[in-house]
Structure 1
Amino acid sequence: MRAVIFDEYGDPQVLHVAEVPDPHAGPGQIRIRVKASSVNPVDWKIRAGFLAQMMPVEFPAIPGRDASGIVDEIGEGVTGVSIGEEVFGSATTGSNAELAVLAGWAQKPAAWSFAEAAGAGVASSTSVRCLDQLGAQSGKTILIEGAAGGVGVVASQIAIGRGLTVIGTASESNHEFLRSLGVIPTTYGEGLQARVAALAPDGIDYVIDTAGSGSLAQLVTLVEDPQNVITVADYNAAAVGARMASNEGNLFAAYAEASALAEQGKCVIPIHASFSMDEAAKAHELSQSGHVRGKLVIIP
């Protein structure tokens, strides 16, 4: 199969397309013919070597975690899915390729295109894990830092689906978009505490930091207990009393929750830009810029 690979850590230019052996579904896994895959911030951090100690790779490595496509191989012990079924989920072998093996998946909702479904995996599983870890309850108020980003936009919608009031930080150009999702928008940065106080006079109960832009020290001042602040991308969390998002959780349940909301028209996956596999370096460069509204997808 053709796949995006990198043979060493480095800048986006280490990415290139090559022929590699086809992967196969092991026990409890399925293989899909990929219709679309996505680029998440963790992908360029792995490629750059920033996470080499925590998440080492074997070269040549295929980047990517999210994918959507058509089931074409089913591993031992798997039930409830058929050859030819349209699914989305998380890849174990790297998803920026023509074929990918999934360890967690759900049926692709009709409301999503393959590109939109490809952007839902990491975003929905991360969002559900954070909300569950916080014990976020219906009727409470949550602030999501980076609410227009790939994870933030999904976290906002799942939180709303669970009955929370969501205040989301984003650049002013994204405020109208957030309002269309039911999010109360505000700008990030200096003066956030005063802006939030005006928007939520009764206070903020929880915070999810999806941006990882170094704002945790400011975010913990918005809640009574710093433990009610969770970050998915700032590894200095412990220094300010906040928590890192857990890697534990039921992928199948998370995908099913996002999929059910999508079928109700309550979970949209905005696509910022699409790329071919030959343009993977451009996708990584854009992800690294931090100025992305929604998801970046790669079409094989």
Structure 2
Amino acid sequence: MTQAYVFTRNGGPETEALVELPERPAPGPGQLLVAVRAAGVNPVDHKIRTGFSRPGAPAPHFPVVFGGEVSGVVEAVGPDVTGFAPGDAVFGSAATGGYTEDTLVPAGNAAHKPDALSFTDAATLPIAAATAYDGVNQLDLPPGATLLITGAGGGVGVAAAQIAIGRGLRVVGTASAGKKDFVESLGVVHVTPGPDVAARVRAVAPDGVDAVFDLVGGADLEAVADLVKDRTKLISAGDHATAERLGGQSVRRLRKAEVLDEVAKLAVSGVLRPYVTGTYPLERAGEALRAVEEGHIQGKIVIEIGA
């Protein structure tokens, strides 16, 4: 039996439940069975519950276990797996959900957890930090350039700001007034979103910005699009359709172990602080998800599981 937090159909929080799954998953070719120690909570988790799916994704088979990023200990390896063995501490992207005691992780989307990195901090890296890393690499800005991040106070935004500042970029970030002190502590020039946001950005960046890394989408993205002249330097991890309509692009996720290794190095070196601002046990996973879904958190929320 494996305990897991699931949704039983598409919809709202009323579809969620903490359940006992009848058996642990068995690792197939190229997979690791991982005893989960921590699982990161991301906005995409509640979006998938409502019916959001990426192009080409298979139809859900209910109940669906929430979560995509985990850290833990390898319990077993499937056929054709090299470089991992039972007992290894790892982190990566879960194939069968993260809010659970046991999950499957593709070996190609897993990396060894450095001893200097806690399981809790490592669980923030596979989606949030890796998305930030891929996006900053995709923009490929020179030192001294100005990057605007919409939604700079959330998990991806906080990671992107730190990675960009570590590369010598000037970062302007939109975030609610309640997150002003937090984002400024990262070295970000804070701007409040909402009506006339473009004017407020221009007040701190009179020549416009060299790139936009969007994590909000919709009207928020449309409001700042004209601040960047080269629309190939407008990318979004929050609203692919709007970004492409405006002449921009989606963040190109590499989903490789090499990226995980790099973000782990940044975390160990102190360039990238995970900023875990809340932890919850598995039995309170619903509260963790609400905190992210309501949009009031700063940094990352993590569910801690097991020993």
TM-score (norm 1): 0.91
Deviation at 1:92, TM superposition (A): 0.7
Deviation at 1:265, TM superposition (A): 1.0
**2:173 and 2:36 mapped to 1: Cα distance?**
33
CA contact (8 A) 1:219 1:229 kept: no
Secondary structure of residue in 2 paired with 1:274: strand
Task: Return the letter of the residue paired with 1:89.
Answer: G
**2:126 maps to which residue?**
121
**2:250 maps to which residue?**
244
CA contact (8 A) 1:66 1:89 kept: yes
Judged with a 3 Å threshold, the aligned counterparts in structure 2 of structure 1 residues 189 and 111 are, in CA distance, closer, same or farther, namely: farther
**1:286 maps to which residue?**
291
**2:181 and 2:218 mapped to 1: Cα distance?**
22
CA contact (8 A) 1:161 1:261 kept: no
Secondary structure of residue in 2 paired with 1:215: helix
**1:212 and 1:272 mapped to 2: Cα distance?**
24
Task: Return the letter of the residue paired with 1:69.
Answer: G
Task: Return the letter of the residue paired with 1:128.
Answer: Y
Deviation at 1:17, TM superposition (A): 1.9
Q: Unaligned 5+ residue runs, structure 1?
A: none
Secondary structure of residue in 2 paired with 1:198: helix
Secondary structure of residue in 2 paired with 1:72: strand
CA contact (8 A) 1:186 1:195 kept: yes
Q: Output aligned runs, 1:71-220, within 5 Å.
A: 71-103=74-106, 104-212=109-217, 214-220=219-225
CA contact (8 A) 1:138 1:164 kept: yes
CA contact (8 A) 1:46 1:52 kept: no
CA contact (8 A) 1:130 1:230 kept: yes
Structure 2 counterpart of 1:65, from 61, 68, 71: 68
Q: String of CA shifts for 1:193-228, please: whole Å, max 9, x gaps.
A: 333233334431111111235311112111002332
Q: Unaligned 5+ residue runs, structure 2?
A: none
CA contact (8 A) 2:280 2:288 kept: yes
Secondary structure of residue in 2 paired with 1:220: helix
**1:25 and 1:162 mapped to 2: Cα distance?**
39
**1:160 and 1:188 mapped to 2: Cα distance?**
21
**1:34 maps to which residue?**
36
Deviation at 1:111, TM superposition (A): 4.5
Deviation at 1:186, TM superposition (A): 2.3
Deviation at 1:249, TM superposition (A): 0.8
Deviation at 1:151, TM superposition (A): 0.9
Secondary structure of residue in 1 paired with 2:91: strand
CA contact (8 A) 2:182 2:298 kept: no
Secondary structure of residue in 1 paired with 2:219: coil
Q: Deviation above 6 Å: which 4+ runs of structure 1? A: none
Secondary structure of residue in 2 paired with 1:27: coil
Q: CA RMSD in A?
A: 2.1
Q: Is it true that 1:15 corresponds to 2:33 in the alignment? A: no
CA contact (8 A) 2:148 2:171 kept: yes
**2:142 and 2:81 mapped to 1: Cα distance?**
34
Deviation at 1:54, TM superposition (A): 5.8
Secondary structure of residue in 2 paired with 1:147: coil
